[in-house]
C-alpha cells in the first residue's frame, strides 16, 4: 500500500514562498533583508496585541468608546541586534499605563543571544567565565572583548534608568552604602556605592538609584537626596539610615518634614565592637530589651538599667545610644507588627548581601563604569524577586493616614 504523501508544514510553505522568486542570501539576511523586516513587523504585531489585551478591546471596537483609555499613536524606538539597528513602532495608550512585555521600557536590544550573555554577567560571572560557558553550551567561541562590548550595550539603558522620573511620595526610604575596589589613576581604591531603596505607596520595593564616590559621607548623601528631589520625589515620611555623622542633618535639609530613623541593627553592631567575646551575648540581650520595649518610656528605663549594668566596663555604649536617642525611637509610634519594617534596614541589607556575592568574584574593577554596569544588571536581576508588598503594609498605610494626614496621596 502506497504511503500517503505528508503535507508540507506551514514553515516549509513559508520558506518556499520566500524562495520561489529567486531571492538570494543578501535579500534574506542582509542589512535590510526580508528576515529583518519580518522580525520588525512581527514584533509590532505582538506589541499591538499586547496593547489590545491591556485596553480590553480591539482597535476601533465600539466598546472602547467612553472606556477612559484608548490608543494614542506610536513611538519609534531603535533596538540593536547582531545586524545593526531596527526601528520599532511601539503603540501608546492615552493614560501612559501600557508597559509592553516583549520590549520593556528601558530595553535597547532584541531579546536574543546577547541576553543570555548579559544574564550570566548579571549573576556575577566574569567575562572569561562567560566565554568558557558559552563555548561549553553552544560550541561557539567568543572573545572576552565581545562579552564586554555586549554588556556595554546596557550603559545607555542604565543611564536612562538612573535619571528616570520618580513618584512624588515614597513613604519609607532606606539609605545605605557598600564598598568596592576600583582601579583609579593607576591605583586600587575603595569606593562607596550609595544606594537608595524606596517603598512606594503600594508597599513594593523600588531601587531609586546608585551612585559612586570615593568615600561615604553626609555631604555626598546631600547631593544624592537633592538629585532624588529633582527627579520628582517630593516627600518621604520615614528615612532609615545608619549612624553616619551628619546624615540626619543631610536628610532634613532636603526633606524637612521627614522623620529620620537610625537603623537599630547598625547601632547594635557598632555597640558590640567595644565588647569582649565573653560578654557579647549578655550585652546583646540587654540591648535587645531596649529596642523591643512596648514604649519609648520603657525603652529609656531599659537603657538606664543597661548603663547601670555595663557602664563600668563599656561606658561608650550607653553614651552612643543617648546621643542618638531622638533618631532611634521614632518607630515606637507604630504598632509592633510594622516596627520591624521601619527600625531596621534589613530590606536594603538583604539586597547588599546579594550584591556582595557578585562583587566577591572580582578583585578590583577597572573603572567606575564597570562597577555601575555590573551593579545595575545585578540589581535588575535581584529586583525580579520583589514580587510582593512588604508585610503588614495595609496596617502601615492606615497608620500613615492618621499620622501624616494630607501628605498621604489617596488614589
Q: What is the CATH number of the domain that holds 160?
A: 3.30.420.10
Separation between Cα atoms, residue 360 and residue 349, nearest integer Å: 16
Mean pLDDT, contiguous 10-residue spans, the chain (411 residues) = 55 59 55 66 78 83 76 84 76 86 70 64 69 63 70 78 93 88 84 90 91 82 94 94 79 92 86 92 94 93 96 94 90 78 66 80 79 84 80 84 88 62
CB 320 within 8 A of CB 363: no
283 and 310 belong to one structural domain: yes
Angle at the Cα of 410 (from 407 to 411), degrees rounded to 5? 145
Instruction: Residue 271: name the closest of 342, 321, 322, 199 by CA.
Output: 321
21 in a structural domain: no
Q: Considering its fold, how many domains does the chain have in total?
A: 3
Boundary residue ending a domain (282, 302, 334)? 334
178 and 244 belong to one structural domain: yes
pLDDT at 45 (0 to 100):
78
237 and 94 belong to one structural domain: no
Phi, psi of 324 (to 5 degrees): -105, 15
121 in a structural domain: no
142 in a structural domain: no
25 in a structural domain: no
pLDDT at 7 (0 to 100):
62
Instruction: Residue 193: name the closest of 208, 179, 174 by CA.
Output: 179
181 in a structural domain: yes
Give residue 84's domain range.
Answer: 43-59+68-111
CB atoms within 10 A of CB 130: 24
159 and 235 belong to one structural domain: yes
Instruction: Residue 379: name the closest of 355, 350, 348 by CA.
Output: 355
199 in a structural domain: yes
Phi, psi of 54 (to 5 degrees): -65, -40
174 and 190 belong to one structural domain: yes
349 and 385 belong to one structural domain: yes
Report long-range pairs for 239-243 (Cβ below 8 Å, ≥24 apart). 239/172, 239/173, 239/174, 239/175, 240/172, 240/173, 240/174, 240/175, 240/342, 240/343, 240/344, 240/345, 241/174, 241/175, 241/176, 241/345, 242/176, 242/266, 242/345, 243/267, 243/270, 243/324
Separation between Cα atoms, residue 150 and residue 134, nearest integer Å: 14
165 in a structural domain: yes
Q: Nearest 10 degrees: CA dihedral of 308, 309, 315, 320?
A: -80
255 and 168 belong to one structural domain: yes
Amino acid at each position: 500500500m502506497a504511503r500517503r504523501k505528508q503535507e508540507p508544514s506551514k514553515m516549509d510553505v513559508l520558506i518556499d514562498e520566500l524562495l520561489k522568486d529567486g531571492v538570494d542570501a543578501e535579500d534574506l539576511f542582509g542589512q535590510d533583508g526580508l528576515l529583518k523586516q519580518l522580525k520588525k513587523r512581527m514584533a509590532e504585531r505582538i506589541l499591538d496585541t499586547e496593547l489590545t489585551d491591556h485596553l480590553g478591546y480591539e482597535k476601533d471596537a465600539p466598546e472602547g468608546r467612553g472606556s477612559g483609555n484608548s490608543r494614542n499613536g506610536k513611538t519609534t524606538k531603535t533596538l540593536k541586534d547582531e545586524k545593526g539597528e531596527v526601528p520599532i513602532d511601539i503603540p501608546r495608550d492615552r493614560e501612559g499605563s501600557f508597559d509592553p512585555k516583549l520590549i520593556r521600557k528601558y530595553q535597547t536590544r532584541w531579546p536574543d543571544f546577547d541576553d543570555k550573555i548579559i544574564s550570566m554577567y548579571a549573576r556575577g560571572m566574569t567575562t572569561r567565565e562567560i566565554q568558557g560557558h558559552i563555548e561549553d553550551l553552544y560550541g561557539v567561541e567568543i572573545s572576552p572583548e565581545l562579552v564586554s562590548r555586549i554588556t556595554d550595550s546596557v550603559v545607555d539603558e542604565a543611564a536612562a534608568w538612573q535619571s528616570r522620573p520618580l513618584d512624588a511620595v515614597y513613604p519609607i526610604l532606606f539609605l545605605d552604602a557598600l564598598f568596592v575596589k576600583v582601579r583609579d589613576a593607576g591605583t586600587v581604591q575603595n569606593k562607596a556605592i550609595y544606594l537608595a531603596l524606596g517603598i512606594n505607596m503600594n508597599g513594593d520595593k523600588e531601587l531609586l538609584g546608585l551612585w559612586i564616590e570615593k568615600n561615604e559621607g553626609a555631604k555626598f548623601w546631600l547631593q544624592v537626596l537633592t538629585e532624588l528631589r529633582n527627579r520628582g520625589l517630593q516627600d518621604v515620611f520615614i528615612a532609615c539610615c545608619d549612624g553616619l555623622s551628619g546624615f540626619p542633618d543631610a536628610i532634613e535639609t532636603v526633606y524637612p518634614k521627614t522623620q529620620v530613623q537610625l537603623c537599630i541593627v547598625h547601632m547594635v553592631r557598632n555597640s558590640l565592637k567595644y565588647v569582649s567575646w565573653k560578654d557579647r551575648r549578655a550585652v546583646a540581650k540587654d540591648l535587645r530589651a531596649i529596642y523591643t520595649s512596648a514604649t519609648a518610656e520603657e525603652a529609656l528605663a531599659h537603657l538606664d538599667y543597661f548603663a547601670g549594668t555595663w557602664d563600668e566596663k563599656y561606658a561608650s555604649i550607653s553614651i552612643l545610644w543617648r546621643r542618638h536617642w531622638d533618631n532611634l525611637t521614632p518607630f515606637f509610634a507604630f504598632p509592633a507588627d510594622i516596627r520591624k519594617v521601619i527600625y531596621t534596614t534589613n530590606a536594603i541589607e538583604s539586597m547588599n548581601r546579594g550584591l556582595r556575592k557578585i562583587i566577591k568574584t572580582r578583585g578590583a574593577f577597572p573603572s567606575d563604569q564597570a562597577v555601575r554596569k555590573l551593579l545595575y544588571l545585578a540589581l535588575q536581576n535581584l529586583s525580579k524577586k520583589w514580587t510582593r508588598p512588604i508585610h503588614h503594609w495595609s496596617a502601615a498605610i492606615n497608620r500613615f493616614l492618621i499620622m501624616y494626614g494630607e501628605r498621604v496621596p489617596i488614589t
